[in-house]
Structure 1
Amino acid sequence: MKTVITYGTFDLFHVGHVNLLKRARELGDRLVVAVSTDEFNLQEKNKTTIVPYEHRVKVLESCRYVDLVIPESSWSQKERDILEYQIDTFVMGDDWEGKFDELKTLCNVVYLPRTKNISSTAIKQAVAVITQLSKELT
């Protein structure tokens, strides 16, 4: 059995997330998803999420491509996770290309292309623009 792992915040779950999870799962028999905790996002990534961690976990657990959801609480846990969950393939979006190549000594590392024109950041920016325009019109 081949096990794949990916990491992310998965805020404002969208089709780009679905595409990444589907393609990651196609690389193995089991998909583990490490979801960044709210604290990790704030302290280490300098990001505030819209959807709380517990809700993001429930959404991912309901996705048919995902077999197990675990918390991501530090940058350094990846090596431990690979060993603990017997990971064969580590997957990230291609915007991280080369950033995790040191893990190639432990497993296969794959960078998948992102879905064009969609991201949680783009959605947040669009909502901010719409909110601003709405305020200006009232």
Structure 2
Amino acid sequence: MRIGYAAGAFDLFHIGHLNILRRAKEECDYLIAGVVSDEMLELTKGRRAVIPLVERLEIVSHIRFVDQAHAEVLPSKLDTWQQLRFDIFFKGDDWRGTAKGIALEEEFSAVGVEVVYFPYTIDTSSTKLRAALDALAQPAESRAG
């Protein structure tokens, strides 16, 4: 049985998140979705989650492609692997060829884990959704000017 792991904040859940989970499940027998904790999101991305971890876990756990939702609370993906022992790590292709992506591939290669990249959804992202929400939150006179 091939166990896959797809990690993400899954904040402001959108079609890009669903696409990654759907494609990941096509590549493995058992899919674990790692939902990055509020603290780890702040540490790694420098921003707070809009949706709290407990709610994001609830949402992700009910996606039919997901066999298990796991709160990712450790800063190192390798430490998470020590807990879960997955065979494949799924990542958006915006990581491919970057220093972080290359380091991730080397780290996981050493323990026999394959890193598989999926196309990043350009049209929809949590960053764009967050910017739209921020714009809506501004007073009307600020938006007009």
TM-score, normalised relative to structure 2:
0.85
Task: Map residues 20-99 of structure 1 onto 2, 5 A cutoff.
Answer: 20-76=20-76, 78-98=77-97, 99=101
Unpaired segments ≥5 residues, structure 2:
none
Task: Judge conservation of contact 2:93–2:120 (CA < 8 Å) in 1.
Answer: yes
SS for the counterpart of 1:96 is coil
Unaligned runs of 5+ in 1: none
The residue that corresponds to 2:138 in the other structure is 132
Q: Do residues 118 (structure 1) and 124 (structure 2) align? A: yes
2:109 maps to a residue whose letter is K
The equivalent of 1:104 in structure 2 is: 109
Looking at structure 2, the residues matched to 56 and 35 of structure 1 have their Cα atoms a distance apart, in angstroms, of 7
Q: For 1:101, give the aligned amino acid.
A: E
- Residue identity in the other structure for 1:131: A
SS of residue in 2 equivalent to 1:11? coil
Alpha-carbon distance change, 42 to 86 in structure 1, aligned in 2, over 3 angstroms: closer
Q: 2-side partners of 1:131 and 1:79: how far apart? A: 39
Once residues 62 and 134 of structure 1 are traced to their aligned partners in structure 2, the CA distance between those partners, rounded to angstroms, is 37
RMSD: 1.7
Cα 1:52/1:135, change in 2 over 3 Å = farther
How many residues are aligned here?
A: 136
SS in 1 for 2:28: coil
